[in-house]
């Protein structure tokens, strides 16, 4: 099969404001999807552990199930994007997001039958995990087509703003719904946030499908493995924070755990807005190295925190540090990949983050059971330091290759 040139829409003479508006029209679906993820993250650990009385390890498993589904479906999502188009992937993901909310409502209705209720909750998490694969990757590729490949770093950065901004927005929204209306209404809201935007997505112009010889998935996976490993190590810090900070605050008899997630998201977004341009200026590996350093310092601050204010500061610094890890390493990962395989490459790269999030819940839950909540932050900091060393090595290898 002959290889064709990818259709690349250029941003032309668009102003920065117009370009950002164009990008946002595609990545807004990530904002919606990740808002529902934030709602569940803020509600489910306490619901499973404190309301239903299960262990912290099972609470972590409930959270991690989403990432099990995401790991399993990322390759499938990438192939769907490359073969059926980004709009189809995003629309399918929104449908699954709405289904996750329906399953949460069903689990609430069967609360008196714990095993059935937990099984439905597991199914809800699996559906949301598949939704994350399709929407997150699909919206990014859709945005790259809409804004032009020369704006890949900007699209990835804006998609990340939407994903973690959604988590930050969803956390207080989920807690508010749970507090004032009850658990069932969290599910109803998630169902509406999945089904309603589906109409908008179906009315938008579809991205063209790039024809050409497709690389086998395992070949693409190998080509992004080093950058993906760094992403996975950096993601452990976010996974620990998102999964257990609500229980950590409850254990310490502190209020305001959702605000810690909001601070994480706010500093994450601020760093993306202020410093994303440095990726193209100095290179993704160097930016990632600095980010890993800041993230590890934030996690160490959480580990040593004796006051709620110190914990807030640690969450904020962790968010600031983690902010540019995904786009910095992601740009380096997808740059050499042929156009017709970029969806698969971005999906394969994201698998490493999903796998890290998948194992973080039960591993951190076991660490908490043996050594307490502060130890999980130290474990995450050690993982991030490994990511720092890997990124610094990749940067030095790039410099050495350029000097030859």
CB contact at 8 A, 175 and 269: no
Mean pLDDT estimate for the chain: 83
Which uninterrupted H or E stretch holds 67?
helix 56-84
**Residue 138 CA, distance from chain mean position:** 13
Burial class (CB in 10 A: 0-12, 13-18, 19+), 33: buried
CA-nearest of 207, 201, 194, 263 to 9 is 207
Which uninterrupted H or E stretch holds 86?
helix 86-109
Q: Cα(192)–Cα(95) distance, rounded to whole angstroms?
A: 10
How many CA within 13 A on the CB side of residue 33? 36
Domains of the chain: 16-204+215-403 (1.20.1250.20)
Query: Helix, strand or coil for residue 110?
Result: coil
Could you tell me which residue, 96 or 25, shows the higher pLDDT?
96
Residue 1 has pLDDT above 50, yes or no: no
Q: For residue range 130-168, what is the model confidence (pLDDT) as tens digits?
A: 999 899 888 988 888 877 777 777 888 888 888 877 877
Q: For residue range 9-64, what is the model confidence (pLDDT) as tens digits?
A: 444 555 678 888 888 888 899 999 999 998 888 787 777 766 666 666 677 777 77
Q: For residue range 191-229, what is the model confidence (pLDDT) as tens digits?
A: 999 999 998 888 887 666 666 667 777 788 888 899 999
Residue 146, φ and ψ in degrees, nearest 5: -70, -30
pTM strictly above 0.75: no
> What is each CA distance from 175 to 40, 169, 190, 255, 319, in whole angstroms?
9, 11, 13, 12, 20
Read off the tokens for 178. 């749970």
Contacts of 382 (CB under 8 A, 6+ apart): none
- The pLDDT of 317-331, averaged and rounded, is 90
pLDDT the model gives residue 7 = 39
Query: Helix, strand or coil for residue 191?
Result: helix
Q: Cα(166)–Cα(396) distance, rounded to whole angstroms?
A: 35
Q: Cα(382)–Cα(193) distance, rounded to whole angstroms?
A: 37
Q: Cα(376)–Cα(382) distance, rounded to whole angstroms?
A: 10
Q: Cα(141)–Cα(324) distance, rounded to whole angstroms?
A: 18
Read off the tokens for 73. 């479906």
């Amino acid at each position: 099969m002959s290889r064709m040139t990818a259709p690349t829409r250029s941003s032309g003479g668009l102003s920065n404001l117009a370009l950002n508006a164009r990008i946002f029209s595609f990545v807004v679906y990530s904002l919606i999807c990740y808002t529902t993820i934030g709602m569940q993250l803020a509600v489910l650990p306490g619901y499973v552990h404190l309301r239903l009385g299960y262990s912290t390890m099972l609470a972590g498993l409930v959270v991690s199930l989403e990432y099990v589904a995401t790991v399993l479906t990322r390759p499938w999502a990438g192939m769907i994007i490359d073969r059926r188009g980004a709009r189809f992937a995003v629309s399918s993901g929104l449908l699954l997001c709405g289904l996750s909310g329906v399953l949460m409502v069903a689990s609430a209705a069967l609360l008196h039958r714990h095993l059935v209720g937990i099984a439905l909750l597991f199914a809800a998490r699996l559906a949301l995990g598949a939704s994350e694969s399709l929407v997150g990757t699909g919206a990014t590729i859709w945005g790259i087509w809409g804004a032009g490949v020369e704006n890949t770093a900007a699209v990835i950065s804006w998609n990340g703003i939407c994903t973690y901004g959604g988590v930050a927005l969803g956390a207080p929204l989920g807690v508010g719904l749970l507090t004032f209306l009850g658990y069932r209404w969290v599910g109803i809201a998630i169902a509406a946030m999945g089904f309603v935007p589906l109409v908008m997505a179906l009315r938008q112009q579809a991205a063209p499908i790039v024809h050409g010889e497709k690389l086998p998935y395992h070949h693409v996976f190998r080509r992004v493995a080093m950058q993906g490993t760094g992403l996975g190590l950096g993601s452990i810090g976010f996974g620990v924070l998102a999964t257990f900070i609500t229980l950590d605050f409850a254990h310490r008899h502190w209020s305001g755990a959702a605000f810690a997630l909001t601070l994480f998201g706010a500093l994450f977004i601020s760093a993306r807005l202020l410093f994303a341009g440095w990726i193209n200026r100095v290179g993704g590996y160097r930016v990632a190295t600095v980010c890993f350093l800041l993230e590890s310092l934030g996690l160490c601050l959480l580990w040593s925190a004796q006051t709620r204010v110190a914990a807030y500061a640690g969450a904020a610094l962790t968010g600031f540090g983690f902010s540019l890890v995904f786009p910095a390493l992601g740009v380096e990962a997808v740059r050499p990949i042929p156009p017709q395989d970029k969806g698969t490459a971005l999906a394969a790269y994201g698998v490493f983050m999903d796998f890290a999030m998948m194992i973080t819940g039960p591993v951190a839950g076991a660490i908490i059971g043996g050594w307490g909540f502060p130890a999980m932050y130290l474990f995450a900091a050690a993982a991030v330091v490994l990511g720092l060393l890997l990124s610094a090595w990749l940067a030095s290898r790039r410099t050495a290759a350029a000097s030859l």
